[in-house]
Structure 1
Amino acid sequence: MAIKLKILAGSTIDDCEAVDYQGGKPVDVNNPHFTGQVAVLLKNDEQSHPYFNDESNKGITWSIQLCGVLHDDDVDCDNLVFGNQFSHPIRQHLPWGSAMAVKFIKYLDPTLTEDLQSDTPWAFSPLCSTVERLNVSDNSDTSKMKNEQDLIIEEDISCLIHKDETSKPKCGNASARKKWFKSESRRKGLNLSKKRVAFDFAKGFINFSTLSLSFPEIGLNIGLLKHWDGQPVRFYLRNRNTGVDYAVIQFIIEDVGQDAPAQTKQLAEEKNIGTDN
């Protein structure tokens, strides 16, 4: 049986609303630090959003998109980060191959920092060097994202790069932008305050129907469900200098399905989570 997920988005873990991750309708996020919207899309084998039919999204299975204005005065391209943090330790539940997977992800994204052994394990990267699409502008309009039928963000960071900058990344080229921002010196002091930031964090290594992690490049496939400890998976847009969270997106398992491992079913029952679709 397929796994059922609930996805929430908002300003804090206690101030969230449900996200339509098949239709792509954005959710508003409003707080003193950030005003904008969040959209989440998951690829479904039976029915998928038109986003996944775009040639540029070949191989993508999920997407988290945010669009909004950062109100803080002290946010730059180095301290604006995106990633995960858990509320409780996961070190006893990490599957075999986790270290290899982290090493491979760091190969793809050298700016990733993490501590999966801590009591509140985390993994974050500077936003500008990790997301698949990034659009930054001086336009402070926070009214809405693109129509949910066309959630393709146009890559553009031209407002951040001085026209006389040497070796500047080619405009509209995400790979060049990621490579450019690998350098901490290029990120530091590059101001994002009061700017409109839109990004697409899109990946292809998770199958949400089976909750499995796959890296065919290194021959690694991990069934995550049997290692699940009952915690939600939470993504944060954060200022790592101040600790301010601008937005949070929560992935919560509502039903583990009849095909789940026995220990997973037992844990689901203890936490009053469904075991039958």
Structure 2
Amino acid sequence: MADKYILRITAGPGYDPADHVEVPVNKPEPVVITGDLADIELNVRVQDYKGLPRGSPTTSPYFDTEPHATNQDQYSICFRFTPKAPKDSGSSGHGDDKADDDGISGLDLQFGNDFDRPIRDRLPPGFGTAMGIVRWWIDPGLDGDAYADKPYLYGPGLSSFNALSIGPGTFDESKGGIWVEEGGDGDVREKAGMPSDAKARMKWALSDDAKKRWVYEYGKTYAVDFFNPYLDFSNFALRLPGFHLPVLKYWDGQGLRMARRSHTLRYVLRNRATGDVYLAVCFTIHLKEDVDEDGNIPEETAPPVPADDHEVKTSADDVD
């Protein structure tokens, strides 16, 4: 069944697809996304990629570099994130006025998946088991409601990001583009009590007290990488320890009905206090018969010119 579909990845500063651009998967040059709330530089890598745009590299040197080679990681969402102070300077957080004035509290910056429509009627057998494995084995900080009208599964960025650097990380074409190693400004980490090791930091961040001590400062750049070996986009399968699920028939909770010829899995960087979205990355599958030889999709135009306050472009300029 998987050979009937093709994957396309787009990204933008919010949910509106009109503000999204197609991501050049596995290419080192990052997509630059500038919105009212944040500046983002984004690389997406997918192992054994067969999707759009046509002619995309099937892999990235990222996957041959440690620790990803040993981990057998299957995909990476890697980005530089520079939050901006809201135009409305009034506090709207959880009562931590200092965090609101200076940046985003570690309690509030979340990363995860959400959906626009219910998926409860399409959840597969064993879903509860899969979620138990994910929370125990991968990210104990995950929280969500798969049975809501608008389902979601979010985790605090501090415990969900596999690698976090205080600063922009590096750009290394031989490693696939933006490269993030745990670390950065050691004084800032030490002041907050944040461990220098990635796994220790993720465990540390499960505590609300720890997250309260951390602020993503406005105007300061942070580099993060989210990756794992569990979601296989080449075969549309979820492979957890002791558990395998072909996800294609459940993608977006709708099944593969002819009435809907595309289905989306969306990753979101958001603020739980305000509901603000800083980045949305959409993994969408399309029927191959709907895509022409140039990679165009009916009833879809080239990425539109965004509104004046949402500049979206592809560039490698000013990359360290």
Fold-level similarity (TM above 0.5): yes
> Counterparts of 1:148 and 1:232 in 2: how far apart (Å)?
29
TM-score by length of 1: 0.82
What SS is found at the alignment partner of 2:149? coil
What is the match of residue 220 of structure 1? 243
Q: Matched residue of 2:118: which SS? A: coil
Out of 27, 34, 40, the position equivalent to 1:36 is 40
What does residue 155 of structure 1 align with? 182
Aligned alpha-carbon RMSD (Å): 2.4
SS at 1:162's partner residue?
helix
* 1:139-168 CA distance string (max 9 Å, x none): 7xxxx9724543321211524333595xx5
Instruction: String of CA shifts for 1:21-74, please: whole Å, max 9, x gaps.
Output: 122431111112101211110001794210000120031000001102111344
**For residue 80 of structure 1, what is the aligned residue in structure 2?**
109
1:80 maps to amino acid: L
The separation in 2 between residues aligned to 1:28 and 1:164, in whole angstroms, is 30
Q: Does residue 71 of structure 1 match 2:84?
A: yes
Residue 164 to residue 11, structure 1, CA distance change in 2 (3 Å):
closer
**Partner letter of residue 211 of structure 1?**
F
How big is each residue's C-alpha offset from its partner over 1:215-264, in whole Å with a ceiling of 9 and x where there is no partner? Answer: 1x2x211111122325311111111101110111001102368xxxxxxx
Between the two proteins, the alignment pairs up a number of residues equal to 249
1:51 matched to which residue of 2?
A: 62
Query: Structure 1 residues 145 and 29, CA, compared in 2 at 3 Å: closer, same or farther?
Result: farther
Calculate the TM-score normalised by the size of structure 2: 0.72
In structure 1, what is the Cα distance between the partners aligned to 2:5 and 2:229? 18
In structure 1, the residue matched to 2:133 is 104
Describe the shift of the 1:164–1:45 C-alpha distance in structure 2 as closer, same or farther (beyond 3 A).
closer
Structure 1 counterpart of 2:90: none
Report the 3-state secondary structure (helix = DSSP H, G, I; strand = E; otherwise coil) of the residue aligned with 2:270: strand
% of aligned pairs identical?
Answer: 28
- 2:307 is matched with none
Give the SS at the match of 1:146: strand
Task: List structure 1 segments (4+ residues) > 6 angstroms apart after TM superposition.
Answer: none
CA distance in 1, matches of 2:78, 2:228: 12
Secondary structure at the aligned position of 2:238 is classed as: strand
For residues 164 and 234 of structure 1, the distance between their equivalents in structure 2, rounded to whole angstroms, comes to: 31
SS at match of 1:176: helix
Q: Hey, what's the Cα distance between the residues in 2 that align with 1:21 and 1:186?
A: 35
The alpha-carbon distance between structure 1 residues 91 and 23, as it changes in their structure 2 partners (threshold 3 A), is same
Structure 2: which 5+ residue stretches go unaligned?
51-57, 86-100, 255-261, 290-297, 301-320
Query: Given that residues 34 and 68 in structure 1 are in contact (C-alpha distance below 8 angstroms), is that contact kept between their aligned partners in structure 2?
Result: yes
- Tell me the amino acid that sits aligned with residue 225 of structure 1: L
CA contact (8 A) 1:86 1:231 kept: no
CA spacing shift, 1:35–1:116, aligned 2, 3 Å: same
Distance in 1 of aligned mates of 2:181 and 2:128: 34
- 1:27 counterpart (28, 31, 36): 31
**Structure 2 counterpart of 1:65, one-letter code:** C
Residue identity matched to 2:276: V
Equivalence map 1:1-277=2 (5 Å)? 1=3, 3-12=5-14, 13-14=16-17, 15-44=19-48, 47-57=58-68, 58=70, 59-72=72-85, 73=101, 74-107=103-136, 108-137=138-167, 146-150=171-175, 151-156=178-183, 158-163=186-191, 165=193, 169=195, 171=196, 173-194=197-218, 195-215=220-240, 217=241, 219-228=242-251, 229=254, 230-255=262-287
Q: Which has the higher helix share?
A: 2
